[in-house]
Amino acid sequence: MLSEKSLTPEQVEAIERLSTRKTTLLVAATGAGKTAICLSAAQRILAVGKLTRILVACPAKVVDVWPREKTKWDHLCDVGVVPIVGDAAQRLLCIRKADKNHCQVIVVSLNNLEWLLNQKHGADGIIIDELSKAAGRQTKGLNTKARGDCFKWRVGMTATPVSQDFEKVFTMVRRLDKGKAFGSNKHAYLNKYFYSDYMGYNWTLKDGADKRILDQITKLVHMVEDTKVDDLPALHEVEQRFDMPPGTREVYNKMKKDMVTGDIEAVNAAVRDGKLRQISSGFVYDEDRNVTKLDSARLDEAVDWWLGHKRPAVIFYEYVAQGERLEAVFRNDLSASVDDFIKGKGTVLVAQISSLSHGVDGLQNVSHDALFYHPQWSRDQKEQAIGRLWRTGQNHEVTITTLVCDNTLDDVVVARVEDRAEWMDLFTKHMGGR
């Protein structure tokens, strides 16, 4: 068990900041100890009677991480942490258990946050884990007087506050400060800082607007520098480019042409992009989720990549159809689960990125190679996935390879992610380590 002395100076500073301020946006890289920081700050506040109970809202996959993290630290032994899980009836029983045992921290998935806000939960503080990923519908109840005003202490956690774009900063910040920074009207926010196309679907930052937005939230932000990163082996990110087979290219171009008829609304553009990404992977879903297989150079590239390594490696995919084809082709080397992979049972872990980007530890002990089957739209999700291997305990240089199909939507995704990386660099420099 770790002692409080194991906390880094950067973590101690963050704990002090959180425990003395009513509202904080905590920005820290993957592996910087955000969970331990928040639990430690919560313990301080609860111990002096400033709050009676704290609610943690997080992605479903990390609900169990919070009670596990609590058991790692001896100074948190007196803090009761209860996950609120199961169906509605089971969740009510969990709340009653927390009440009976006087547990001061309850943890619920973002999907069940709206439900919990309608219950007698007894919490007057809230921590939102992965705030930048929380959908508006998941956290909208926090802005209502009946349910949101009970929280006197609010913390939002994220590794990438501008991972998507500056448009989404409004929703993220409003969940914390209830409109103090930017008001309560998103349209007014957009008109102030962005230019719009005539349809109102696409927004472009005005000159200098990015810095003016950051100026508004500077006092809200506390950044934690992860000094452990400096001690890690080198991280290498490379692209493995390839061409689409002629038959698949024909299907791709036809789909692209058929779906581009005049102005495309955002929702239809998303559907189009999803179809094009599927085709470039060698398959496409129809409206009934049936799969039509096509020639897949991407799958061949994944095999070639593996043959060039022949050592324990992780392959991240998005679509179920991708996972099924990968598992079939790597069946002789496949690990049945994360635990099996960590134990050395199999040398290839095929994992859907959304399931392995949070709350998994131990991969760094057995692997230093990973393959992204597709470029990732979400910089946050990509960094979280990389952080499964490139973290404390890793003793080898880590190589992350991304398959990129030339002259496809892959090129757009790569360019967009680079833009988002620049935005994050701007954010970091602007905040100056606050």
pLDDT of 142 over the 50 cut: yes
Q: Tell me the torsion sign for CA atoms 282, 400, 417, 391.
A: positive
pLDDT of 360 over the 50 cut: yes
The CATH number of domain 232-426, selected from 3.40.220.10, 3.40.50.300, 3.30.450.40, 3.40.1360.10: 3.40.50.300
Domains 4-228 and 232-426 share a fold: yes
Instruction: Report DSSP letters for 277-306, one per residue.
Output: HHHHTTEEE-TT--EEE---HHHHHHHHHH
The pLDDT of residue 420 is: 64
Q: How many C-beta neighbours within 10 Å does residue 271 have?
A: 13
**Distance (Å, whole) CA 349 – CA 330:** 9
Helices assigned H by DSSP within 235-342: 246-259, 266-280, 297-307, 320-329, 338-342
Domain ranges of the chain: 4-228, 232-426
pLDDT of 226 over the 70 cut: no
* The pairing of beta strand 153-158 with beta strand 23-28: parallel
Task: Note the pLDDT tens digit of each residue in 164-188.
Answer: 578 888 888 888 888 899 998 988 9
pLDDT of 262 over the 50 cut: no
pLDDT of 433 over the 60 cut: no
pLDDT band at 414 (very low <50, low <70, confident <90, very high): confident
**Distance (Å, whole) CA 225 – CA 222:** 10
Q: Which of 98-102, 240-244, 257-261 has the least mean pLDDT?
A: 257-261
Q: Does domain 4-228 have CATH number 3.40.50.10810?
A: yes
Q: Which of 62-71, 260-269, 282-291 has the least mean pLDDT?
A: 260-269
pTM (predicted TM-score): 0.75
The pLDDT of residue 162 is: 66
Task: Note the pLDDT tens digit of each residue in 30-86.
Answer: 777 889 999 999 999 999 999 999 999 998 888 998 999 999 899 998 889 999 999
Return the closest-CA partner of residue 326 out of 336, 335, 315, 337. 315
pLDDT of 306 over the 50 cut: yes
What residues contact 96, with CB distance under 8 A and at least 6 apart? none
Average pLDDT over residues 240-264: 79
pLDDT of 145 over the 60 cut: no
What residues contact 382, with CB distance under 8 A and at least 6 apart? 353, 372, 376, 417
Q: How many C-beta neighbours within 10 Å does residue 243 have?
A: 12
**Stronger pLDDT, 296 or 325, i.e. the higher one:** 325
**Distance (Å, whole) CA 301 – CA 315:** 12
